[in-house]
Amino acid sequence: MRDLRHLPPEEARMRIRERKHTTPTTGISIDYAQANLVVLNKEAAYDFLLFCTRNPKPCPLLDVTEAGSPVPMLTAPGADLRTDIPKYNLYRHGKLIEQTEDITSYWQDDLVAFLLGCSFTFEKSLLENDIPVRQIELNRNVPMYKTNIPCRPAGRFSGPMVVSMRPIPSRQVAKAVTVTSRYPSVHGTPIHIGNPALIGITDLDKPDYGDAVPLYEGEVPVFWACGVTPQAVAAASEADFMITHAPGHMFITDVKDQQLSLF
């Protein structure tokens, strides 16, 4: 099998467009930032843009397309957001109504696509610092949980923050904080460290999205704000129409992770 970890992003996107790759994108083109997708009508876009600026940890904006254009000019000018993601979720009135591998037939002239930073970006830095990333070791999707932390509302959008969890050996937790502090545009430092119950998570073995992973002896669960948050928000806010990526099935940009690092 070809090593997907060092595939140039345009080749990775072409494989996805041609449906040669239809699974989660963890571990593909690992030097490049992956992004969460949210597509809304122009009419709802102002509220969402405001929601993102008020909630930068779960919703760090990397790119926003012109209304009607599926091309992310800042982060991947050769891409097409209608075909270059392995799997999409379609919502109407807050309900997931369909999963699809291509949204071309749903595209309209008044749609605006938002790309949001993804925690995959800092995972390479964690690995380079010898901090384990459990779901990569196990070839699973990262576990994600709804919390009891409310996002700051904006217009029609409100709802709880979603977090991703990684088990970190206790002696390496401080290092995991400083490593991720370099990446404020991809969720930055953890939202919570330690007791899941304090943020409303009752059972780590039952994530709301993604796959559960084991917590080994001496490890602490560390929680980062997650770009899946807009999906929870869509459900809570009953947005008329919204398209997102399916959890773990991200958009691969032309932006190197290092470009998103502060220093």
* Lookup: tokens for 38: 């949210």
Q: Hunting for tokens 């948050």 — which residue is that?
A: 229
Cβ-based nearer residue to a copy of itself, 87 or 187: 187
Return the range that interacts with a copy of itself (CB under 8 A); candidates 6-14, 116-124, 176-184, 236-244. Answer: 176-184
Query: In the chain, helix, strand, coil percent, each to 5?
Result: 30, 25, 45
CB of 114 to a copy of itself, least distance (A): 9
Can you tell me the distance from the alpha carbon of 219 to that of 236, in angstroms, rounded to the nearest whole number?
33
Cβ-based nearer residue to a copy of itself, 79 or 246: 79
CB of 22 to a copy of itself, least distance (A): 31
Question: Does 225 participate in binding a copy of itself (rule CB under 8 A)?
Answer: no
* Binding track, positions 19-48, relative to a copy of itself; x by CB under 8 A: --------------------------xx--
Instruction: Tell me the CA end-to-end span of the chain in Å, nearest whole number.
Output: 35
At residue 135, the 3 state secondary structure works out as helix
**CA nearest neighbour of 31 among 124, 168, 115:** 124
In single-letter form, the type of residue at position 153 comes to: P
At residue 84, the 3 state secondary structure works out as coil
* Binding track, positions 46-85, relative to a copy of itself; x by CB under 8 A: x--xx-xxx------x--x---------x-----------
Cβ-based nearer residue to a copy of itself, 52 or 176: 52
